[in-house]
Amino acid sequence: MTSGQGKALFNTIDNDKNGDVSDDEWNEFYATFYTPFVACDADKDNFLSLASEMLTCLTKTDIANT
C-alpha cells in the first residue's frame, strides 16, 4: 500500500474528519468493508480468487448495495 492509499483509507474511516479513528469508526469500517469479504473466502486462505470467490461475493445483493 502506498502512503497515498493509506491516507485515502484513513480518510475513509475517519467519518467525522477529526484526525482520529474512534472505536465506533473502526467498527463501522470493519463491519461494512472487511467482514463481508472475509465471509466470501470459501477456502479460508485469506485471498479471494477472482474466478470464484470475488465474483460471487460482488454479485451478492447485500454487498453490492452497501
Global confidence as pTM: 0.67
| Domains contained in the chain, number | 1
Q: What is the pLDDT of residues 2-55, one digit of tens each?
A: 999 999 999 999 999 999 999 999 999 999 888 988 999 999 998 988 888 988
User: From CA 53, how far away is CA 57, in angstroms rounded?
Assistant: 6
User: From CA 32, how far away is CA 5, in angstroms rounded?
Assistant: 18
Domain coverage including residue 28: 3-64
The region that residue 14 occupies, defined by phi over 0 for left and psi between -120 and 50 for alpha, beta otherwise, is beta
**Amino acid letter for position 43:** D
Residue 59: which pLDDT band, with cuts at 50, 70 and 90?
Answer: confident
